[in-house]
Amino acid sequence: MASMSQGQMLWAFLSIFLCFVSLGLMCASIGTNSWVQTSKNMTDYTEVTDIGLWKICISEVKSDGWVRKTCSYRELIDSADKTTQGMLQMRLDQCFVIFVCLSAFVQLITHLILLCGVPDCCSSLKKTHLFFIVAVTQLLAVLLGIVGCICFIALQDELYKTTTSITLTYQWSFMLAWISVGLCLIESGIFVVLVKVCFDNVFQSGKFNYYSM
């Protein structure tokens, strides 16, 4: 790759750092069970349910502070409710898990692509191509993450639209996913700007050869 100016290097390293942060946040979001919490008052205790991608944990909280917690894996393949509404909920649940995981996978692919920016790793790759590919992959991760999170919101609306006795609260795992998506969008924008800067430098210098771009 052609040498980069100090400003380009600074923005490139900032974007790479944000890539690691966004991937870490998305992985933490996927691996935790605090996407949404529901609370329902029973006769002599409060039933608190924490829902994640893979597990659902139900806690029975007594008035004296005693808590009994049980966790089980969520059913993502088949639904006990074979009605139209039940199948819709199952499809939303599956789309939520698939798209969020795909967003994390695309971010991981982005990290592998960025290895081409390491000296002597992929020295024949034009930096404009590298920046453009990374910008596109990060934008794809944004779209996948947004679709996944929207499917999750639609699922909760579908599950609890007729229930007034249950209090629903989105938790920190859900927030981490949105923060990760936002960082990916910022990273994509920075790499698009770097592509433009690279082309501007070439046109200003007038050196139109393979390695100048």
pLDDT (tens digit, 9 = 90+) per residue, 18-70? 888 999 999 999 998 889 988 888 777 888 888 888 888 888 887 766 777 88
Whether 137 is in a domain gets the answer yes
Phi-psi region of 171 (alpha: psi -120 to 50; beta: other; left: phi over 0): beta
Whether 168 is in a domain gets the answer yes
Instruction: Tell me the two tokens of residue 32.
Output: 């935790």
Mean pLDDT of 186-195: 87
Whether 50 is in a domain gets the answer no
Whether 46 is in a domain gets the answer no
R_g of the chain computed on alpha carbons:
23
175, pLDDT greater than 90: yes
Exposure on the CB side of residue 13, measured as CA atoms within 13 A: 7
Q: Residue 116 belongs to what H/E stretch?
A: none
- Determine the structural domain holding residue 154 and report its residue range: 6-33+82-199
Residues β-bridged to residue 73: 55
Count: domains in the chain: 1
2, pLDDT greater than 50: no
Q: Which pLDDT belongs to residue 109? A: 92
Whether 147 is in a domain gets the answer yes
Whether 124 is in a domain gets the answer yes
Answer with the residue of higher pLDDT: 171 or 6. Answer: 171
CATH code, 154: 1.20.140
Q: Confidence class of residue 144 from pLDDT cuts 50, 70 and 90? A: very high
16, pLDDT greater than 70: yes
Whether 161 is in a domain gets the answer yes
- On average, the pLDDT of the chain sits at 81
Q: What's the start-to-end Cα distance of the chain, in Å?
A: 8
Whether 60 is in a domain gets the answer no
Answer with the residue of higher pLDDT: 65 or 4. Answer: 65
Q: Residue 56 belongs to what H/E stretch?
A: strand 55-62
Spatial separation of the C-alpha atoms in residues 97 and 173, rounded to whole Å: 13
